[in-house]
Structure formats: structure tokens, C-alpha cells
Amino acid sequence: MATWDEAFASEWGIARRHNTRAFLLSLYASVTNSENAGVRRLLPPIREGLKRLS
């Protein structure tokens, strides 16, 4: 897939998009609640990944 918009063309693509989004949302929840500055540095790339999926 060149873009996530192409994911809607097949069941496999939809499942892949769903699983990737669920993974990123789980990471986002964990990282947001972390007090570790090193872990919190992961927020920008996680947010970017979620934006690309939207």
C-alpha cells in the first residue's frame, strides 16, 4: 500500500489499518501517562502516525 487510503480496498487492508491504529492508541495512552521523559519523547512520532491513519 502506498497510502492508508488504499487500505479500504480489501479486508486485509482494513484489518491492517485497524490493528496499526489500535497499537498506536495503546502506545499513546501508555506514553501520555508516563513520568519518564525519555518515554514521553515518543509522543510526537506516535501522534504523527495517528494523523497519517486518519
Q: Which range marks the domain in which residue 37 is found?
A: 4-53
Confidence of residue 4 (pLDDT cuts 50, 70, 90): confident
Question: How many structural domains does the chain have?
Answer: 1
Instruction: Give the tens place of pLDDT for each residue, 8-53.
Output: 889 998 999 999 999 999 999 999 999 999 999 999 999 999 999 8
Count of C-beta atoms within a 10 Å radius of residue 6:
11
Given pLDDT bands bounded at 50, 70 and 90, which one contains residue 7?
confident
Helix (H, G, I), strand (E, B) or coil at 42: coil
Q: Report helix angle 43-53 to 11-32, nearest 10.
A: 150
Note the pLDDT of residue 5.
Answer: 77
The Cβ of residue 46 has, within 10 Å, a number of other Cβ atoms equal to: 19
Does residue 1 register a pLDDT over 90?
A: no
Q: How many CB atoms lie within 10 A of CB 49?
A: 16
CA 15 vs CA 12, 18, 20, 42: distances in Å: 5, 5, 8, 24
